Chains A and B, each alone.
Chain A
Amino acid sequence: GAGVSQSPRYKVAKRGQDVALRCDPISGHVSLFWYQQALGQGPEFLTYFQNEAQLDKSGLPSDRFFAERPEGSVSTLKIQRTQQEDSAVYLCASSLTGLGYEQYFGPGTRLTVT
C-alpha cells in the first residue's frame, strides 16, 4: 500500500509569508506526528494527533505554528509570518496505534525562507 505522502516537497517562502504543508498518512493509521529537522540533525517533535484530537502540541516553537487534522486523516501544518529560522525539513509520520511506537515517515517538505 501507499506510504505517507507530503506536499509540497519543496517550498520557498519570503519572510513574512504564510505557508501550509500537507500530510497524507497511511490509510487507517490512528496517530499522526509532525517533526522539524534541521540540516544534519535528528528530527524534533512538534505535535501529535490521535484521530482528530491534537493530544500534544508542546513542541510547536511559537504561536505562529498551527496544525490541524479535522477529519482524522489528512493533516496540515501552517506557519504564519515565516521567519528565516523556520527553514528546515518538516517531516510527517503516522502510526497504526495510539502508542506511536513504530512510526512511518513521509519524505518531508523542505522549507526555505528567504
Chain B
Amino acid sequence: TQLLEQSPQFLSIQEGENLTVYCNSSSVFSSLQWYRQEPGEGPVLLVTVVTGGEVKKLKRLTFQFGDARKDSSLHITAAQPGDTGLYLCAGATSGSRLTFGEGTQLTVNP
C-alpha cells in the first residue's frame, strides 16, 4: 500500500503569515496533485506536478515536486482568510488511481 503523509495535520495562522505544507512518501509517483476542499464540496484541483524538481507557481501558492518524485511541498505567501480549507496531496502511479494524503486543515484568521 502506498501512503502519503501530510504535515502538519492542522494549521492555524494569522492573515499575512507564510506557511508550508509537506507531503511525503516512500513511494515514487509519476505525478502528484494538490487539491483544496471546502466544507460540503468536492476537492478542487490546484496543480499537477510531473517532473522531479519541478516548481509551479499559482499566484501566492508555490508547489514543488521532490527530485526523487517521492515528496512535495505547498508554500503559501501572505495567507488570506480565503485560503482557509483542507489541502490534499494525491499521488498517481502507473495506474489511474490516486492515493490521497490525510489532508492539512488550514485556518487563516483575519
- A42 engages B100 (CB within 8 Å): yes
- B42 engages A31 (CB within 8 Å): no
A-contacting residues, B1-26, CB 8 Å: 4, 6
Contacts of A59 in B (CB 8 A): 97
CA A96 to CA B97, docked complex, whole Å: 14
- B96 engages A31 (CB within 8 Å): yes
B96 nearest in chain A by CB position? A100
Contacts of B97 in A (CB 8 A): 33, 45, 48, 56, 59, 100
Q: How many residues of B contact A (CB 8 A)?
A: 26
Which residue of A41, A45, A91, A101 contacts B42 across the interface (Cβ within 8 Å)?
A91
Q: Residue-by-residue, is B57-100 near A (CB-CB < 8 Å gives 1, otherwise 0)?
A: 00000000000000000000000000000001010100111111
CA A55 to CA B97, docked complex, whole Å: 10
- A106 engages B42 (CB within 8 Å): yes
A43 nearest in chain B by CB position? B100
Contacts of A43 in B (CB 8 A): 43, 88, 98, 100
Interface range for A: 20 to 34
Q: Residue-by-residue, is A49-60 near B (CB-CB < 8 Å gives 1, otherwise 0)?
A: 010000110010
CA A42 to CA B34, docked complex, whole Å: 12
B47 nearest in chain A by CB position? A102
B43 nearest in chain A by CB position? A105
- B42 engages A4 (CB within 8 Å): yes
Given contacts A40-B105, A107-B42, contact A101 B100 (CB under 8 A): no
CA A48 to CA B42, docked complex, whole Å: 17
Given A33-B96, A33-B98, A35-B100; 15 other pairs, CB 8 A cutoff: A42-B102, A42-B103, A44-B100, A48-B97, A55-B96, A56-B97, A59-B97, A91-B42, A95-B96, A99-B92, A100-B92, A101-B31, A101-B92, A106-B42, A107-B42
Residues of B within 8 A of A (CB): 4, 6, 30-31, 33, 35, 40-45, 48, 88, 90, 92, 95-103, 105
Residues of A within 8 A of B (CB): 4, 31, 33, 35, 40-45, 48, 50, 55-56, 59, 91, 93, 95, 98-108
